[in-house]
Every structure is written in C-alpha cells, then in structure tokens.
C-alpha cells in the first residue's frame, strides 16, 4: 500500500479510522499505493476508490463504466486504466445504479492568463500576502477541516448506540464492502477502547495541529525563499478548525473560486501549482520533493507534460519520466511537504 506523506497522517484532515464514518459521504481511497479519507459534499454515497473490478453480479442494478473524460467504456478498458500510474478509480454506489469512474491522479492543464490573474487577486484579497505579477502560485487544498468536537460529531463510537449495536452495524458494513468483520464482541470492544484513546484525545489533537503548522511553515519558508513562489493553504469548508496559527492562516475558499477552477473534474486533488501563463499541474495525494523542486525550478514543462501524455497513451503501470518518479514505492518513504 502506498505510503502517505506525514501530513496526511494527521487527524485534522481525515477520519483516520475505519471506526468513524461520516454520515455525509464516505470517500475512501484504496488503490494500491493510496489510502485517504475525506469528507466531500457530494450527491453520491459510499464512494470508494478501487484498483480493478472483481466479478460480482448485482441483481437488477445497472453498472456503468466511465473513463477520465466522461465517456462510456467497457470493463476491460476500465481495469486497464485502474492499473495505470496516471489514474485511480472509484465506485459510486447509488440506489438505482453503480458507476465505476476513472479519474486523473495527476493532470497538466491550462487556464487563461486572465483567469490566473483573477485567482492571484482573489488570493491577495483573502490573505495577508501579496502575489506579484508573473509568479508561480502553489496551493495546498483541503475540501474540509474540522475542529475536535466537529470531527467526532458523527463518529459511530460516540453515539447513542450500545456496544452491541455498533458491533452489529460495523460487521454488516464490513461484509457489504468485502472487509473482515470482528469475530467477537470482546475483540470489537478492544478496538473501540484503543480508538477512543488514540482519536478522542483533545490534547493530542491540539498537539498535532501545532506540529502540522510547524512542519508546513518550514516547507512554506523554503519554497517562498528559494523559488520565490507564494504558498497558500486553502480549505473549502471549515468547521471550527483553528485556521490561524502562529505561522500562517488558511484561506477559506467560501465562494469556491479555487474549487471551480480546478476541482470540477478532479474532486480529490490537494496540490495545485499554477504558472502566470495559465499552465497548471495538479495532483492527488503524495507529491515527491524531487518532482516538486523540478516543477518549481523550470519555467517550461513541455518535457514533463510529454512524459505524462506518453504514460496516458500506454496505460503503463509505472509511467514514464515524471510519472515514474511520482509512483516509485521508495519515494513514499521519504519526507515530503505535500
């Protein structure tokens, strides 16, 4: 399984436990090297990312396979793409259908220079920074941040159900999703108690918030000093998370300017690097330092874009060039900022 960079391990950005299931939407990533839980305001329930489709017949439920561009494909092509380095796949289960969808894990795109300037001015207004013209902009984006109390509001382990009721509902969910249920109430209770000690500790939560801010400030200072690239931490929905720390303040994208520009077709991305000419690179999950430094240093990304396009055409598992660098297993055990 893909190693997650240390900042994603913080409880501030994810449920961090199979026991806490948000009642809004459960969105989990399971593609070999990726594991990430987030809260997304979406009309589709129980979205999960998958590596490939296993043969499983569902009575009278239509199944659709959709590629990264929104076109219908067959199961064989879908499974090929799911194993390609440039893609990841999700299953959206609805009452009247099941949709298997391919998404870009990384993407080179372009907006107009006018749109770049609008985003630059928007970030200037929303923050205490001033982005000069003709500068790259780096954005770390989170869909949702939650305070300690809000993060546990819908947790199955701090609700009105009894231990026995939680045991039964958890095992039912596990069986429905092909996971291993707990064999006994005693074993389940051990995990419940361990979970509460680990994730329902407000002092621990506050400590991790502070540690995260300290770590990210080091990253921010390094990039802004070495590459003269302003760095912004942006969140779409904030539920009482302490967005202001002693180093920086999160920008709340309350009118969804950033979301509308980059996340309409790429709902899970959290890394955005934007150039003054409108060219941008976006990615979900881990961003290796070697690749980040290369993109920050270079003004012309044509070579890296060609490597990405070649990886798309071949559906290669490891990818070429920059794509290969972002999917090497050992990379995920190295320290990274994003």
Q: Are 191 and 302 contained in the same domain?
A: no
What is this structure's pTM? 0.78
Residue whose entry in the numeric block shows the structure tokens 């990726």: 34
- Looking at residue 159, its pLDDT comes to 65
Contact between residue 185 and residue 274 where contact means Cβ atoms under 8 Å apart = no
- Looking at residue 114, its pLDDT comes to 96
Beta strand 137-146 with 231-239: parallel, antiparallel or unpaired? parallel
> Does residue 19 sit within a domain?
no
pLDDT in tens, 36-86: 333 333 333 345 666 666 655 545 789 999 999 999 999 999 999 999 999
Q: Are 166 and 188 contained in the same domain?
A: yes
- Looking at residue 1, its pLDDT comes to 39
- Looking at residue 54, its pLDDT comes to 60
pLDDT in tens, 304-327: 999 999 999 998 898 999 999 988
pLDDT confidence tier of residue 156, bands split at 50, 70 and 90: low
pLDDT confidence tier of residue 9, bands split at 50, 70 and 90: very low
- Looking at residue 324, its pLDDT comes to 92
Residue whose entry in the numeric block shows the structure tokens 């003709």: 134
Domain-ending residue, one of 132, 165, 199:
199
Q: Are 313 and 220 contained in the same domain?
A: yes
- Looking at residue 32, its pLDDT comes to 36
| Domain housing 225 | 106-146+203-333
> Does residue 18 sit within a domain?
no
- Which range, of 14-28, 202-216, 282-296, averages the lowest pLDDT? 14-28
How much is the average pLDDT of 154-164?
A: 74
Domain-ending residue, one of 199, 214, 230:
199
Number of domains in the chain: 2
Q: Are 253 and 274 contained in the same domain?
A: yes
How much is the average pLDDT of 205-230?
A: 95
Q: Are 131 and 175 contained in the same domain?
A: no
Closest-CA residue to 91 (of 27, 10, 140, 171)? 27
On the question of pLDDT at 122 being above 90, the answer is: yes
pLDDT in tens, 250-304: 999 999 999 999 999 999 999 999 999 999 999 998 888 989 999 999 999 999 9
């Amino acid at each position: 399984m893909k190693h997650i960079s240390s900042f994603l391990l913080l409880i501030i950005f994810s449920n961090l436990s199979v026991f806490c299931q948000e009642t809004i939407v459960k969105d989990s990533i399971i593609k070999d090297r990726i594991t990430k839980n987030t809260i997304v305001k979406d009309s589709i329930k129980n979205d999960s990312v998958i590596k490939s489709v296993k043969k499983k017949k569902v009575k009278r439920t239509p199944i659709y396979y959709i590629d990264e561009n929104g076109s219908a494909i067959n199961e064989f092509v879908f499974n090929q793409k799911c194993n390609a380095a440039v893609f990841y796949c999700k299953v959206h289960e609805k009452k009247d259908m099941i949709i298997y969808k391919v998404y870009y894990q990384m993407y080179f795109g372009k907006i107009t220079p006018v749109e770049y300037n609008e985003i630059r001015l928007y970030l200037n207004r929303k923050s205490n920074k001033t982005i000069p013209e003709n500068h790259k902009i780096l954005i770390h984006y989170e869909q949702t941040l939650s305070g300690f109390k809000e993060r546990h509001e819908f947790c199955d382990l701090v609700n009105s159900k009894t231990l026995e009721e939680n045991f039964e509902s958890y095992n039912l969910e596990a069986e429905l999703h092909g996971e291993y249920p707990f064999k006994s109430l005693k074993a389940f209770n051990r995990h419940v108690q361990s979970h509460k000690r680990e994730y329902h500790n407000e002092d621990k939560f506050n400590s991790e918030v502070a540690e995260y801010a300290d770590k990210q400030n080091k990253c921010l200072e390094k990039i802004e000093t070495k590459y003269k690239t302003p760095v912004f931490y942006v969140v779409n929905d904030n539920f009482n998370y302490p967005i202001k720390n002693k180093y920086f303040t999160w920008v709340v994208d309350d009118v969804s300017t950033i979301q509308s520009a980059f996340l309409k077709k790429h709902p899970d991305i959290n890394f955005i690097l934007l150039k003054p000419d409108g060219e941008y690179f976006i990615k979900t999950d881990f961003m290796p330092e070697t690749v980040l430094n290369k993109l920050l240093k270079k003004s012309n990304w044509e070579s890296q874009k060609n490597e990405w396009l070649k990886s798309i055409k071949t559906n290669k598992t490891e990818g070429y060039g920059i794509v290969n660098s972002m999917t090497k297993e050992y990379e995920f055990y190295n320290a990274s900022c994003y």
